[in-house]
Amino acid sequence: MSYSINKKPSDWMFELAHRHKMLRKQAGYTQSELARRSGVSLGSLKRFETTGQISLESLFLLIDVLGRLDDFDLILKPIENLKEIERLFSDKKSR
């Protein structure tokens, strides 16, 4: 077993599933209700909440019903600092 302070993809999957489940409950939706409102199958929703596995499209559909789609705005946002971009390219050249 390896230990790290950085989260692995599987850690993030479970974390997102847990956060989603909490938001669903705070909004007062049952799994069946949220599945119906989002168009995501109940089986996919249950699998997500127990394993963290879900398609990106289904995740967006679920989150949209919960009113939190804008939370994804910061994910994979390009680096805007040109100095940082230049450093990244110069590091690749020196390898």
Domains of the chain (ranges; CATH) run 9-93 (1.10.260.40)
pLDDT bracket for residue 6 (50, 70, 90): confident
Does the pLDDT of residue 80 top 90, yes or no? no
pLDDT bracket for residue 22 (50, 70, 90): very high
Type of residue numbered 37:
R
Does the pLDDT of residue 4 top 90, yes or no? no
Helix, strand, or coil (residue 92): helix
Does the pLDDT of residue 1 top 60, yes or no? no
The full DSSP string for 8-41 is PHHHHHHHHHHHHHHHHHHTT--HHHHHHHHT--
Burial class (CB in 10 A: 0-12, 13-18, 19+), 83: exposed
Q: Against a cut of 0.85, is the pTM above it?
A: no
Question: Do 10 and 52 form a contact (C-beta atoms < 8 A)?
Answer: yes
